[in-house]
Amino acid sequence: MSTSTGAGRHTHHHDQIPSVQTSFIKDVHSLVSVIEELGNPFEEESLDLVALHTKEIASPSAAETVRNAKSIGQDQFQTFNREHLMEGTKPTEAPPATSVVLDGAAVLQMLKPAAAMNFEEYAHEVFIPYMSTKLQTVSQLDLVFDWYVADSLKCTARAKRGQGVRKRVVGSATIPRNWQNFLRLDSNKT
């Protein structure tokens, strides 16, 4: 089912587009063909591990690893848990982040204008310095703003909070006294 929300936006699941469906059907036919040629893999009595698409037999050590994957994983988990969490004999460190995604609306709510008199001062004294500190530790920074679909639950909840005052955002424009009221209106954030 394909539905449109205007402006060319479709709301159906990406797996429902014709090219994905065609590819899926091709894959199913290919799998059926292999099963018809080799027989049902679930009725196989051999201990060989066979790749269905190439018909190659894996080495005995690879087959043994696959057969024991669950117990190998459980052993590794128990060892990690004991060494890193229970005994603390090995440090637990997360790999360094290379990118950060920030919620734009949350950032604007958090970064109050303070002493900034206009939007240019806000940009140079508050917003850009904050973003610059985030960029010191990562190579990519994405600032994401969401939007609200008309008649959605979230849009209805926001409407109950009230509307702000529409203001043209240009560098020389004065910062509104009530920052939260100003940010209530989506068009002030775009």
pLDDT (tens digit, 9 = 90+) per residue, 100-151? 999 988 898 899 998 899 989 999 999 999 999 999 888 899 999 876 666 6
- Residue 102 host element (H or E): strand 99-103
The pTM for the full model equals 0.45
Question: Residue 175 burial by CB count (10 A; 0-12/13-18/19+): exposed, middle or buried?
Answer: buried
- Averaged over 162-177, what is the pLDDT? 77
> Which residues are registered as beta bridge partners of 141?
100
Task: Indicate the range of 16-25, 146-155, 176-185 predicted with least confidence.
Answer: 146-155
Task: Give the whole-number percent of the chain exceeding pLDDT 90.
Answer: 30
pLDDT bucket at 26, cuts 50 / 70 / 90: very high
- CA-based R_g, the chain, Å: 28
Q: Is the pLDDT of residue 2 over 60?
A: no
